[in-house]
Amino acid sequence: MPMRKDKENLHVLPWFIKKNKKSSFIHRMNKLSHKTDSYMQGFKEHLTMGPKISETIKGKLSFGAKVLQAGGIDKVFREYFAVEKDEKLRKAFQCYLSTTAGPIAGMLFISTKKIAFHSDRPLSFTSPKGGSTRVPYKVLIPTERMKSASVRENLYNPDEKYIDVVTVDGFDFWFMGFVSYEKSFKYLQQVIMELR
């Protein structure tokens, strides 16, 4: 077996073990660097997607306080939406829902029976009689109504990604500004695969 003495190390190891250890370490560091870059890009995109960073942060803080007061994200989910006895919340992600009026910050809940979005802050609406009211923006898609989910990129800015959820009746819902697209998409794909 060929041996190689490394000038940096005083001990002698077979050259292929040193190479494997070194390349394994470099591989792990590159992977960690990629994950960190991806996470930071997602975090930056998440904060800057809304109309004002200060409003986005205020919304996130008030939602965080609500989660703490309620006793956890599962209880918030049950408070916001009608939940069946055997239904379990799998994961919740902060994101934005794309609308014709612009992105709306909120939380995407993925459960065993549905995906649901609830805005961080209530939106103001004016009634036909001139009065105004504030209500949360909600979207609820039962899992059996989901046809597909796919990750897409903005053609003009490939760093901006969104998850496109299509229902069986042809409606598209675009969720964007995730801190981690990969994780969010993985959970959505699991829900769809279990239906088949």
Domain contains 126: yes
Domain encompassing residue 171: 13-195
Give the CATH number of the domain where residue 63 resides.
Answer: 2.30.29.30
Is position 54 within any domain? yes
Write down the pLDDT at residue 139.
95
Cα radius of gyration (the chain): 23
pLDDT greater than 50 at residue 157: yes
Measure CA of the first residue to CA of the last residue in the chain; give whole Å: 53
> Is the pLDDT assigned to residue 170 strictly greater than 90?
yes
Q: Is residue 2 part of a domain?
A: no
Residue 60 counted as domain residue:
yes
Number of domains, the chain: 1
Q: What distance in Å separates the CA atoms of residue 115 and residue 112, rounded to the nearest whole number? A: 8
Secondary structure (3-state) at 178: coil
Question: Higher model confidence: residue 114 or residue 22?
Answer: 114
Find which of 40-49, 62-71, 72-81, 124-133 is predicted with most confidence, using mean pLDDT.
72-81
Q: How far apart are CA 39 and CA 47, in angstroms?
A: 12
Residue 58's alpha-carbon distances to 92, 151, 167, 194, in angstroms, are 19, 28, 32, 37
Question: Is the whole-model pTM more than 0.75?
Answer: no
Residue 77 has what pLDDT?
92
Computed over every residue of the chain, the mean pLDDT equals: 77
pLDDT value of position 1: 46
Q: Measure the CA–CA gap between 109 and 138, rounded to whole angstroms.
A: 11
Instruction: Please tell me the total number of residues recorded for the chain in this structure.
Output: 196
**Helix axes of 53-70 and 73-80: crossing angle, nearest 10 degrees:** 100
Residue 160 identity: E
In a domain, 178, yes or no: yes
Whether 6 maps to a domain, the answer reads no
Residue 37 has pLDDT above 60, yes or no: no
Q: Looking at the domain assignment, is residue 143 inside a domain? A: yes
Highest mean pLDDT among 4-13, 63-72, 137-146: 137-146
Q: Residue 3 domain-assigned? A: no
Q: Tell me the mean pLDDT in the region 170-184.
A: 86
Give the span between the Cα atoms of 177 and 189, in whole angstroms.
Answer: 18
Residue 65 has pLDDT above 90, yes or no: no
